[in-house]
Each structure stands twice: as C-alpha cells, then as structure tokens.
Amino acid sequence: MKYEKLRIEVLKANLELPKLGLVDFTFGNVSARDPESGLIAIKASGVPYKSMRPEDIVVVDLGGKTVAGKLRPSSDLPTHLELYNRWPGLGGIVHTHSAWATSWAQACMAIPALGTTHADYFEGPIPCTRLLSEAETSGEYEKETGIVIIECFEKLGLDPLRMPAVLVANHGPFTWGKDAEEAVHKAAVTELVARMALQSLTLAPGLGPMPAHLLAKHFNRKHGPGAYYGQK
C-alpha cells in the first residue's frame, strides 16, 4: 500500500483516542506530517474507530489534494492544514471533543495553570480562542478555525512548541507534537489537567494561578535549555 508507514502511524494514533477515553462515536481525528515528503495523513471522515483500517487513512499534500485513499478526509482537514502550513515544527495534530477539555471550551475559558502537572507540559494557561463570527462560520468554517487558532497564539505571543494545546471556543481542544504519538499524549494530558483544574476550582472557587516561579521551574526542567528531567 502506498505510504503504508505513514498511514499505519496515523491509524495507531487514532485508535489510541478511544482507548484513552478521549473520543465518543466518530468524534475526533489525528493527523501526521511526513518529515521527508511533507505529505499529511489523516483519518477519513465519519469512519468508526472500531472498524478503522490503514486504507481509511487519507494522504494529502499541503494544499489538501488527495494523493492516496478513496475516502473523503476528515472534515477538520483544513484546520490541520492551516496549522501545518503556519507552524512547520508540528509533526502531528489531534482534535477531540473530550468531555473535560471541551467543557472549558464551551465555557469559552482558558484552562488555568494551577499546579505542577499542568506546568510540566504547558508554559501557562491553555488558551481559548475568540468566537468565530457568523461570516467566518458561514464561509470556509474549518479553515477559519485554523486561522482563529493562529490568531489567538499571535495575539498572546505564544510559541506553539511551548504551548502545544488550544481550546476553540464553543468547540473543543486541539493539541500537537513532533509526531502523531506525541500529539495524542498531549491530548490526554490536556484532558487530565482540564479535569483537575475544574475539580480544584470546585474545592476552592477563588483559587488563583500557581506561582510563576514554580510554573517556570517545572516547565523548564523538562523543556528548557538546561532540562534535566528523564534520561539522556
């Protein structure tokens, strides 16, 4: 099968979503970009996870033209393409409607950084985009979703490699990483910290963000120039 390695990578990543409790029904998708060819593989639209096969993974170029696969790619493909084209450091992207993170997105609220679990992965609050306008929604909706994510990061001065997640207002989370596997891991962590934040605020409604020095310490010991967490 053409592009078999890329398709299998994306298939495996997609199948992790229901195992991790991050998707229901056919909600959500994973894509990956091949670092050599620049081609992108993404699940086909509306295919059930329990019956998904390598041939259900569609391969496209950066313009969205299908180069392998007979099915229509995920309807969220234009969002993925916007992010890949703007941020070349991304090798994998995940979109889910996972319950806890989506609850924050539906409330149009950023997920606050309240503790070190959050700080180990995200350099501050996980941002939430602005609402899309009626004109944006009525036009190229999925493309506009990608544009509003990029706009959010540029407005806040965020580096997508140091903030690998975003909430789209009224919609749900997108996460990314160096490959599909890492992007799925970030999706799982986003769901975890979303749940922990909501539970923490239920216990302490007036709780403020964690101290900036503690956040910086935990983030940089994993991701800073002098990172020392884990093995070399």
The residues annotated as belonging to the active site are: 120, 229
Helix (H) or strand (E) holding 40: strand 40-43
31 by Cβ neighbours in 10 Å (0-12 / 13-18 / 19+) ranks as: buried
CB atoms within 10 A of CB 5: 10
Question: Could you tell me which residues come within 8 angstroms of residue 178 by beta carbon, excluding any fewer than 6 positions away?
Answer: 89, 91, 92
Distance from C-alpha of 145 to C-alpha of 151, rounded to nearest angstrom: 10
Per DSSP bridges, beta strands 165-168 and 40-43 are unpaired
The candidate with the shortest Cα–Cα distance to 189, out of 92, 138, 120, 141, is 120
Sign of the alpha-carbon torsion through 175, 102, 221, 124: positive
Q: Which single residue is written with the structure tokens 């090798």?
A: 91
DSSP string covering 67-102: EE-SSPBPTTHHHHHHHHHH-TT--EEEE---HHHH
